[in-house]
């Protein structure tokens, strides 16, 4: 139903009732990316009622991908629990480096596409 206001008619839009889902870290990054760089897709997702579903899916997929990448890189580079007991600072530095590289892969593969 349209609402008249002076000489204009405005559509009476209603969004579907959807349960809000926790979107997490990667979901919030994707949300900011959509708002700033993909406003058309952002608007379509809002109007279809699938924005939070999309963001939650991106967050879950990103977390699962991180859980796969980090152990694989750590094993490839020889960063093991033995290093953790012998040289803790070196282990922390190498694991932080692996985590940051993994996050960069996730951002390029899933968030900024």
pLDDT score, position 42: 96
pLDDT score, position 8: 76
72-86 pLDDT, tens digit each: 999 999 998 899 899
pLDDT score, position 58: 96
The alpha carbon of 13 is separated from its chain's Cα centroid by a whole number of angstroms, namely 28
Across all residues in the chain, what is the average pLDDT?
89
HSE, side-chain direction, 13 A CA sphere, residue 81: 0
Residue 23: partners with Cβ closer than 8 Å, 6 or more residues away: 31, 52, 55, 56, 59
13-56 pLDDT, tens digit each: 776 677 777 899 999 999 999 999 999 999 999 888 899 999 99
Domain boundaries, the chain: 20-111
pTM of the model: 0.79
């Amino acid at each position: 139903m349209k609402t008249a206001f002076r000489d204009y008619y405005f559509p009476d839009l209603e969004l579907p009732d959807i349960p809000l889902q926790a979107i997490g870290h990667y979901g919030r990054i994707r949300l900011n990316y959509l708002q700033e760089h993909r406003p058309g897709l952002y608007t379509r997702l809002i109007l279809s009622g699938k924005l939070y579903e999309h963001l939650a899916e991106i967050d879950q997929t990103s977390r699962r991908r991180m859980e796969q990448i980090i152990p694989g890189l750590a094993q490839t580079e020889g960063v093991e629990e033995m290093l953790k007991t012998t040289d803790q600072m070196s282990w922390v530095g190498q694991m932080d480096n692996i985590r940051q590289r993994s996050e960069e892969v996730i951002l390029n593969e899933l968030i900024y596409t």
